Amino acid sequence: MAEEIINRVANSKLKTIDLEEMYPKGERILFDIKDWLFEDLILREKEFRAAVKSHNWEQYQNQYIAIVCSTDAIIPSWAFMLVASAVAVCAKKTVIGNLETLETAIFQEIIDQKDFSEYQNLPIIIKGCSEKPIPESAYSFLIEKLLPVVSSIHFGEACSSVPLYKSKK
């Protein structure tokens, strides 16, 4: 008779954190202001303000917005801020920057708000593979929050993880 196979990983105190599970639903939109520039290069304040005022911002309800200018135009900071102030009333999150900047801001907020006390003195594996766009910086935000709480941190999968940290307690 064959010996029973025991799953030691399932029976251990080891906990896995998967940032992909924290990935919030909602469309990510790259809002390019170049179309509101004269010849895609020159910001004319009066026309720009009129375009911001007449734009239908309601279409961005509960979406994540990254505001950019894809041309080489020199755009004053106030122009990006004006767009941000208009869209922020509807959007879940607004940043001035590209989609990677947006994802970074989203994850920083999620990780900052999460209570990690459930992992007190436990060994942790941070899952590395994901199909969603998890920014590299999200892993450092996570480690920063976990260090004072956990007994150890590994990266990868239980069968082949890389040790990152072990508490000296």
Q: Where do the domains of the chain lie? A: 8-24+116-166, 28-91
What backbone phi and psi angles, to 5 degrees, belong to 155? -125, 135
Task: Please report which confidence band the pLDDT of residue 3 belongs to, taking 50, 70 and 90 as the band edges.
Answer: confident
What radius of gyration do the chain's Cα atoms show?
A: 22
User: pTM to 2 decimals?
Assistant: 0.83
For 83, left (φ over 0), alpha (ψ -120 to 50), or beta?
Answer: alpha
Residues 6+ apart with CB under 8 A from 29: 60, 63, 64, 65, 66
Residues 43-98: tens digit of each pLDDT? 999 999 999 999 999 999 999 999 999 999 999 999 999 999 999 999 999 999 99
Using DSSP bridges, classify how beta strands 160-166 and 152-157 pair: parallel, antiparallel or unpaired: antiparallel
Task: Please report which confidence band the pLDDT of residue 161 belongs to, taking 50, 70 and 90 as the band edges.
Answer: confident
DSSP state of 169: -
Give the three-class secondary structure for 153.
Answer: strand
